[in-house]
Structure 1
Amino acid sequence: MIDFGLRDRVILVTGAGSGIGRAVALHAATQGARIAVVDFSEADADGVVTEIKEAGGTAVALVADVRAEAEVEAAVSRCEEVLGPLDGVVACAGISRPAPAESLTLEGWSQVIDTNLTGAFLTARIAGSRLLARGGSLVVVSSVDGLGGHAGRVHYSASKFGVAGIVKSLAIEWGRRGVRVNAVAPGPVDTPLLRAIHSDEALAGGILVRTPLGRLALPADQANAILFLLSDAAAFVTGTLLPVDGGLTAGCFNDEPLS
């Protein structure tokens, strides 16, 4: 495993109870970072902290709904009380609720926008204000759906396009104050949730054929990119949206045979 030089750094990860957030928390902990595992599910957060501690790492489980300003504020404050001043933040909490645009209710729209966009902003604003006191790195998890549209996910895509605006604006505001702000844009990631939604045949015909590297991303692929952005190796990287998609968004004709 690559050593990203994160030993003894305090890193807060939202949505850390599962998926990409969990992978980030576990990978950073193996590097010696002290991890605040923030999740809506107490059981999931506790489970990740148990894994980290059993491996000899340091972590605290914190329950918060990223849509609730007071809960995010409480989680960030508790993180610093227990682990020390923040060095890095990963805003990973998000949901996807596919629905045709013509039948998407305002409630359905708001659930996704409030979690993915407002939640990312609240995390960035509240945790970022702590980073401004001493410098650090903020990484927001976006999506390839923040680079292009996706049928049945108008609300999800809108939220991820919005994340790009947050990242680029904060990079400009905070760069001279010692805080770098970036995002990763994952393509489809091999998780139980993805497998539950798509059959092997659908994945092969709809995704893998369009992915130059010919496979789904693993959560660890996303975690490695995020840890790079948190690290000093990315000291001159800010305001960027990094696709971690196996080449899915490289072009329009990814599935064309050579001729």
Structure 2
Amino acid sequence: MTESTPRVAVVSGAARGIGAAIATRLAADGLAVGVLDLDESACATTVDAIKAAGGTAVALGADVSDEASVEAAINKLAEELGGPTVVINNAGITRDNLLFKMPVSDWDAVMAVHLRGAFLLTRAAQKYMVDAKWGRIVNLSSVSAQGNRGQVNYSAAKAGMQGFTKTLAFELGKFGVTANAIAPGFIVTEMTKATAERVGVEFDDFIKMNASATPVARVGYPEDIAHTASYLVSEGSGFVSGQVIYVAGGPRD
């Protein structure tokens, strides 16, 4: 990679939180970044921050669960910055509830964004990776993949992301493409704040409670995930593929 021909990444769910942190870090690493979220205008803060720091970025509005929308976003990215050879599947939603209370629509919505979205975005970008004989795919899983009360849909989707990752590693490895997953533990984001509100706990207390249950005695932040993504996207990670890395402040089975 040179300054004149930077690699191009697309990061979904990049308007805020973990996605924004990853997009910003990859731009600092020298990649041109497609900042993708449901609402293109919501990507402005991330894009502006990248550009202010001297990086290159473009805002992309797309519903990751919609095939035509994803294709249009990738085509726009390819035209403006070049074909993406790095894909970060970060877009996600929660619709938490106990199994017997969960409507089918909430199950379907979570599956559509996490799994269908990752499938569509990766499929749209993989041709650029195959042509380049180089690529990096990083999928966001979660410690909830191991099961979590009230998250039967989210846990199933995040476990599915791990199987998706391992299969991509088998299928695309011969083309110089790696696929890995990051499984965060408790990360301070708007999503975890909403979880605290849902269970009726003050967010500061929720943070302290999770920190006390973590071996490193603190909670995580989006930048912790961005550091790991930076490594998995790097040239030096080329012999790491099909792995699930738990960034959770302690060991996981």
Task: For 2:58, give the aligned amino acid.
Answer: V
* 1:120 aligned partner: 118
Structure 1 position 202 matched with structure 2 position 206: yes
Shift of 1:204: 2.4
Shift of 1:98: 1.0
SS in 1 for 2:131: coil
79, 82, 85: which one aligns with 1:84: 82
* 1:257 aligned partner: none
Moved more, 98-107 or 194-203: 194-203
Shift of 1:84: 1.4
Superposition pairs for residues 49-198 of structure 1, below 5 Å? 49-134=47-132, 135-146=134-145, 148-198=146-196
Give yes or no for contact 1:40–1:64 (8 Å, CA) kept in 2: yes
Structure 1 position 238 matched with structure 2 position 241: yes
Deviations 1:32-83 (A, max 9, x none): 2111111002222122111111222111101000000111111111111111
Task: For 1:124, give the aligned amino acid.
Answer: T
Give yes or no for contact 1:100–1:152 (8 Å, CA) kept in 2: yes
Give yes or no for contact 1:142–1:185 (8 Å, CA) kept in 2: yes
For the structure 1 residues 196 and 153, does the alpha-carbon distance in structure 2 shift closer, same or farther, using more than 3 Å as the test? closer
SS in 2 for 1:96: coil
SS in 2 for 1:133: helix
Matches of 1:106 and 1:129, distance apart in 2: 34
Give yes or no for contact 2:246–2:252 (8 Å, CA) kept in 1: no
For the structure 1 residues 54 and 184, does the alpha-carbon distance in structure 2 shift closer, same or farther, using more than 3 Å as the test? same
- For structure 2, the residue ranges without an aligned partner over 5 or more in a row are 197-201
Matches of 1:25 and 1:174, distance apart in 2: 23
For the structure 1 residues 196 and 157, does the alpha-carbon distance in structure 2 shift closer, same or farther, using more than 3 Å as the test? closer
Shift of 1:192: 3.7
Give yes or no for contact 2:37–2:61 (8 Å, CA) kept in 1: yes
For the structure 1 residues 119 and 29, does the alpha-carbon distance in structure 2 shift closer, same or farther, using more than 3 Å as the test? same
Matches of 1:51 and 1:6, distance apart in 2: 22
Matches of 1:10 and 1:130, distance apart in 2: 10
TM-score after normalising by structure 2: 0.92
Task: For 2:137, give the aligned amino acid.
Answer: L
Matches of 2:137 and 2:221, distance apart in 1: 22
TM-score after normalising by structure 1: 0.90
* 2:199 aligned partner: none
For the structure 1 residues 229 and 6, does the alpha-carbon distance in structure 2 shift closer, same or farther, using more than 3 Å as the test? farther
Give yes or no for contact 1:6–1:231 (8 Å, CA) kept in 2: no
* 1:250 aligned partner: 252
Matches of 1:145 and 1:47, distance apart in 2: 29
Matches of 1:13 and 1:59, distance apart in 2: 11
* 1:45 aligned partner: 43
Give yes or no for contact 2:188–2:222 (8 Å, CA) kept in 1: yes
Deviations 1:102-144 (A, max 9, x none): 1101001001011111111111111123211112111111111
